[in-house]
Every structure is written in structure tokens, then in C-alpha cells.
Chain A
Amino acid sequence: MAEIMVKQKIVVIGNGMVGHHFLEQLANRPERELFDVLVFCAEPRPAYDRVHLSEYFGGRTAEDLAMGKVEQYRNWGYDLRLNDSAVRVDRENKIVTSASGASEAYDHLVLATGSYPFVPPIPGHEHDKCFVYRTIEDLDKIQAAAEDGKVGVVVGGGLLGLEAANALKQLGLEAHVVEFAPGLMSVQLDEGGSKLLREKIEALGVTVHTSTATELIKEMDDGRLRMRFRGDKSLDTDLIVFSAGIRPEDSLAKSAGIELGERGGIVVDNHCRTSDKHIFAIGECALFNNFIFGLVAPGYTMARTAVSLLCGEAAEFNGADMSTKLKLLGVEVGSIGDAHGRAEGSAAITFVDEQTGVYKRMITDSAGKKLRGAVLVGDTGDYDTLLQYHLNDMDLPEHPEQLILPALDGAAPALGADALPDTATICSCHNVSKGDIVGAVQGGCCSVDEVKDCTKAATGCGGCSALLKNVVDTELAALGVEVNNDLCPHFPYTRQEIFHMVQVEQIKTFDELLHKHGSGKGCEICKPTAASIFASLWNEHIHKKPHVGLQDTNDTFMANMQKNGTYSVVPRIAGGEITPEKLIVLGQVAKKYDLYTKITGGQRIDLFGARLEELPEIWRELTDAGFETGHAYGKSLRTVKSCVGSTWCRFGVQDSVGMALAVENRYKGLRSPHKIKMAVSGCTRECAEAQSKDIGVIATENGWNLYVCGNGGMRPRHADLFATDLDDVTLIKYIDRVLMFYVRTADKLQRTSVWLENLEGGLDYLREVVIEDKLGICEELERQMGNVVGTYQCEWKTAINDPEMLKRFRQFVNTDEKDEKIVFVEERKQRRPATQEEIVKIAEPA
């Protein structure tokens, strides 16, 4: 008889980010099998990313913000109860009762109830135009109220308050921040940092009122609200969002008789256990050492501690560093350790650049040897290095001020990975130490990507990716592994370096490039790469004499070779718009040459089965009817998919077809490191699936939202929202810059998605380059794109009028016979290549 194992039951109350992390960590352990797991979630959806909540108004959907998915929980074997909150804990019988009346026994209870927003008891705060900022439902309500409004006020000038102000601004409201204290973010920033942050935020159009106490909120006759401040001042507004701090959600624990702190919070020990040893509390509801940790990273550490203990391993939570780095309304802010220098014997070093709006302050001990804290506003480039000095209690260099002074040669004095102890945390999202990374490299990982896969480092917020690369490269070098980024054996350079050489030295042919910078005779890697670079920069016809031998299979005959050596033909149908007359021509050509006809995913028509020698005739007929090449064969712009937009659709808010045509006609013919696909949707319903494209454009009431670097295919990636509410001119300008920057810097055959993931600094860096022109190259990028656009030619139209180019389009150079070995059979009333078995059968006499 098989022994039946009795599983223990874990009930988790709360499914926020920390609760989700607990469940995710548990799911990945072999001990997972020992437990039945049930989760109560008061909200209608599983955990989502509250840290990036304001992006909900920047175009990200609830789906985008989701961390836990219902299906994933099912796969993990968890019993997830959405929309059902736990209302009572019977500790004696170890039973949890829910609002829906469910009664569930537990062996272990995990309280991950989080926190709720504190609303100051100002008379009038219960008005229905007063909101809090915590859940997606809160945001939906704020959005609805903002529709007819002009002004929005946030009460609270802390980290979350400024996030909320950003949200109001994105809703198109005139945003105000009202703060009781004399400065913004007073917990994290000193006076100097706070002052600069205020200047920067006000420059962005947010009005800041500090040292301002609200005494009364009154509804006026027109339905708007008037806030009366102490000192007889007032402010009229359409809505108010309270973001004046959080309070631990401890009511359930309180009613169950679990010990709470004096000012709330469920008291836990260094095992995250409450006064009842069967009950854990993790995240913002837990009070450790009389402190609530209102950041996600310490909450994650608590979650991991609880999981380890449940699995029978030793683990402790001993508090956490509250250092933080973030971007508020686009302003970089960083705070490390004792930012105010409150400890005795502190000394400070301050750097202020009023010109560029940068404030940096280091707090050291009196000897200037150890870093106790730091404040960074306007530029957080030094944050990672400073944090490592602080967390690892490392001795500061002889001239510590160099850590925050701008380096004269342009390069910041990065902290050598050698200097870090093995215990140094590199990735705080996934708690990966330098020792873990070194271990992964010694265990056989040979690249940053492999280390990422193996350790999960830099796969959370990605803020540590530069440091990770540094550690990996240092360790590889120490092991004597040479990091080889050479294009191929013939060129000891990366694609980016070759692009630069070709551009600067105005190299026009492969022979010249090989002679100057390469060796040997070239191969199928460097030849097409060079051909693509020449085309991106000089845009000569790809079949011009010096280039003809460089092209890859499909470019060689400007058609897509299929498995039997015949070709498919794809004329451009920009935006998917086609006249009946042209559609008839396609049908006539397909019929005449007996071409298998299929609609593509990119709203075009693909004609299969053309013999090599038929291609010029087919294209003569197509170009006569006004068709142009569709570049389906090239590493270049393929299609711009569109929905029908405001012209026809009753939901459309912009002319998406018109924009798709403009975009497709602008970038057609642009050769790039890999193929590029785009789409334009006429409203947020997103029928053109723009978020799965390299460049995605989605119409808004006010213009266009631009998404970048998505793709479908083997490893799908949602495009990232890059910029919002752009006018037509700015939209094109940004696409020009993003594309040309990609063309310049990507590796060979690297799609935009992988390019972005490998771009140091990621999306923020791309924005800095493209929107803020950090590198000062935007004008040049636009000029280069202008050159490509200005020198466009339909490659097929040119080719069919050039006897020299047509020379290659002969099946045999010595006869007009056809290739008898190409055999077709009929299926569903069209031709298709015969299989090998069918060919054998046909050859045998019956």
C-alpha cells in the first residue's frame, strides 16, 4: 500500500507584490509539494506592480502591470480566491473565515495584507471627489473624475504623492502638490536636495505648496472643491488625491488578538513570525524593530525569509536598507542611508551645479573614511557605486569627493568589481550577491545573458545591469576567458565599430573595407552585414556591381526563396490599403504565372512558386500597374499594419491608415540589422496589434502614443511605451531617431527587442538619447534618415530596366530550358511543391 503523505496547508491573506513574491518563491522550490496553498485576494485581480502605478495613465494597461496571472497560479497549483477578503482568524481552531462565507483551516497563516493610505481627518475629506492612490480601481475612479476637470490637487509631497501628481499630470490636469512639511520627500532628502527637486518639478508645470496645512474642504455651488489652508489662503480644484503616507493594514490581526505596535503594525520577530508562531506577517503590514518597511525590496526579503523557514531552512530578517533610487516626473532622485547626516560626527561633501540642475551630497564619518549616506537629485549616475560603499562598509578612496564630482575626461570613476566583497548585493530585486555571480561564471556561464538566465540578476528593475556586466567581465577576465565580440574571423570588430568605420572613412565597397580593416576573403556573416551597412548609409542599389556578391539568399534575387528553390513575391501594399483595380492585377498576375496566393500577417499578399527566370516578367507587370517592391526579402522595413481608424470606425480617434501610409512610405527601403515591423492603431482598442511591433503607434485623443522594441515570433515581447500624446511631426522625428540609433548601434541580426534589452541604461537611456539628445546626435540621426528617405528607389523598377542586373535572373546561362526538377502538385485548387515521396511516385511509370 502506498503511503499517503499528509500535506500541510498554507493560507496566504493578501495578494499584493509581497504576497505574490512569497508565492512565486515557494512555487520554485521542491518543497512546494509538501503544501496545499490557498490565497485570499480582496481585489478583483491578482497582484500587480504598484510601484509603477502611475504608468497606468501613460498607456500601460492593468494587463501590463500584472505580476501574477490567474493561469500561472493555476499552473502552480494554488487555490486563488479573487474578490474575497479574509474577515476573521480563529487562532484556537486555526480557521480563516472570508467575506463570502468560506471557512478554511490552516497549518500556517501568512499575513500579507499590506497597507492602506492615510487620509488626514480634514473636514470634507469624505467628499466623492476626494480619492486615495493605491489600487487600479482608485485610478479608474480618479480618471473618471478627471474627465471634465481642469485642476487636481495631491495632498502629500512624499514619494507616493509625487507619483500621484505625475498621474494627474498625465491625465491632462493642472497638478498641485500640497505638503504640510517645509520640503518635498522630507524622509529621503535633505534641504538642498529637496529644494532642487521642487524647482525641477515646478519647471515641469506642477505647482508645489509646502508648509501648507489644509483646514477645510468645501464643495462650491458649481460642484468644484475649495481647499481652505491655514493662514486664510485657498485653492479651487476639481478633485483631490490623498497621498499623505501609509498605515499598516492590521485590523484582521488586531481582531484576532495578535500583538500590534503602539502605533499599529503587526509585530514580528527576525523570523517574520507574529506573536502566534503559526502566523507570519510580511511586507508593509509587518512591524520589525518598531519600523514599517514601506519599500518593496525589504518586503521581498521578508517573503523569502518566511518561505525558507517553511521549507525547513534557517533564515533571518534583520531589517533592510531603505536606500532608494527612482525617477519622479522624469527627475532622477536617489537617497542612501543617513541622508540627513543626523548621526553624530558626520561630515558632508556637497556638489551643486545650478546650470544643469544637479545636487549631490555625501555624508561621511568625521574621518571621511566611511560613507554613511547620500542624496542625489538630477543625476543618479553615481548611485550604484555609492550604495556599494555604504552597504559593504568599504573604505572610501583618498579623495572621496571624486565619487560625486563630474569626471573631466567624461568617464565616471566606476567602482571596480574587484573591490567589492563577495557578500555585496548586486541585484536587490532578486537578492543576487557578487558571490552568486562569480559562482555562476565559474560554473560555466560565459556571458551576461547566461548569468542573467542562471541567477535572475538584472531581470527585475534592471538598474544593476551595468554593475552586473562589470562583475561578469572582470570575473571572465580573471578566469582567462577572452570576451570575443568579433563580427567573424575576417573582422576583429563589432558591427557597431564597423558601422562607425564605414561612416567616418566613407567606405563604399566591401573590398575597400576588407583591405583596410579585415583579413581573408569574407564570409556569409561579414558580407551581408557590410552590404546592410552600405545600404543604411549610402543607399545604393543592392545589385550594383560591387554589392551583388555580398547579398544574402533573398536579397540576391529580391524575392524569398522557398524550399524547392522557387520564389515568393510580395509587392508593397502600404498600410494594407489597396484599390480594387490593383487587387485585380495581383489576381491576374497570380493566375497567369500559376502562383499560390496567400494573405500575410502583415496585411499583404504573398505570391508563391515563381521560377527565378519569371521574376523580372512578373515585376514588369506589377510595376506597370503601379506596385513597388515590398522588401519582404530584406532586413529592412516590412509592413506598417493599420486598423481602419477614425475615417470609418466609430471608435477611432485618429486617421490611423493615413499615418500608416505616411510611416510606411517614409521608411520603405531602409536597410537595418534585422527586419522591422510597424503598426498604427486608431484607438486604444489596438486592433492593429501595434504593441507587438518594433515600432507601434496608438492614437489618443491628443495625438499618438509611441511604443518601441516589441516583437512577435519565437520570443514575443510587448513594446515599451516610449512617449505619449505626440503630434505628427514629433512622432516622425522620434521614429527617425530611434530607428537610426538602432541601425547604428545594434549587433548583426539583432531585433530591436534584444537590442533594447542589451542597451545599457535600457528604455530610460533610449529616451535620454532620443528625446533629451543626451549624446548630441539627434540632428545627425535625422539627417541620415533624411538621406535614406531622399534616395529611395524601387529596387525592382530599377532592376528590370538594367540588362546587367537582369543577367542573374536566368535559370541557365546557356539555354532557355526550365529547371525540370521543380515539381508541383495541386492542393485545395492551388499549386504547392511536391514532397519527395510524391516526386518519386510521379517519376515511376504507373
Chain B
Amino acid sequence: MGLAVALSALVLAQGRYQIGQPLSEEEVRRWNVRPSVLATGAGLPPGEGTVDQGAQVYAAQCAACHGGSGEGGAFNRLVAEPFPVTKETNPRDFAIGNYWPYPTTLFDYIRRAMPFATPGILSDDEVYAVVAYLLYQNGIIDGSQPMNAATLPEVEMPARALLQLDPTTQKKFPWITLP
């Protein structure tokens, strides 16, 4: 009894239960197969891709669902015409050019979850390329530069100007600012 109490006091020193396996940074890297890319660009990998390369990736991997040039098909429209989004824009027309506020989200999401039925098959270069193609199709970049870890976070998205923090959230968490 006395030993058990002493033992639990020891285990709970510093308020910890001593449960769980410590991992090395290398082990964490191996588990982290689809690393997050933050709006700051943190997490973007080496590599790059151009609009022309992206057009080929898009045609092979994306067009079947999203239309020949991003106009939408069985699945979401990716290239936007109506800008800015107003309270009268049909949600069907929400797309990258008028609704997506951060360029890094494109890389994060495409690498993470696309193509829909076979996620994870694109190389980092292919992801950069298809991101370049989609930004170009939306009239956001002119295609003169490849997209990479340096250029992508610098791209200015039109929809960012419309994005605001929810007031209820702002009240509860006054320290939050949108990137």
C-alpha cells in the first residue's frame, strides 16, 4: 500500500502519467507522410513546377472531374469568373480565383487529398506545377515564374481582401489574427 502510493506519487511527478512512446524527430518525419503547409509557407518542400508542366498534370489527373480547363464538371469548379464573390454569387461559382484566400492552401490540399480516388500519387514537383497552372488559369499569376517554396507564399489571392475573422471567435480569442 505504502509502496503503491509512493509509486503513484513518483509517476505523477510534474503532473505526468509517463504513458506514451517518445519519438525522435526522424521518427516523427516518417509518420508525417502528408506534412501541413501553413499560410506562411512553412512546410513547403523543395522542388518547383511551371504552368506548362502543370497543364499536362492537370489534363492527366484532374480534368476528368474538374473540366478541361477548370470550369468544373462532375466536381467543383476551380476557375472563377465572377469576382468578387458577392451575396448573389451562386456557390457553384465559388472557385480559386474568387474564394480561396491563401495560395499555400492549394499546395497543402492537392498534395494531401488529390486526386480524389488516388491521393498521394503526385510528386512535389507535380503539385507545384498543377498549382501554377490553376493560379494561371484564374488570372492570378502571369506564368513567368515557376512555383516553388519561395514564390508560392508571395502570390496575392484576390479573395483574401474579403476574408474577416468571425466576431464571436475574435471576442473569445482576442489574440487571433488571420495570416
Do A and B pair up? The answer is no
Which residues does B use to contact A, with CB under 8 Å?
none
Which residues does A use to contact B, with CB under 8 Å?
none
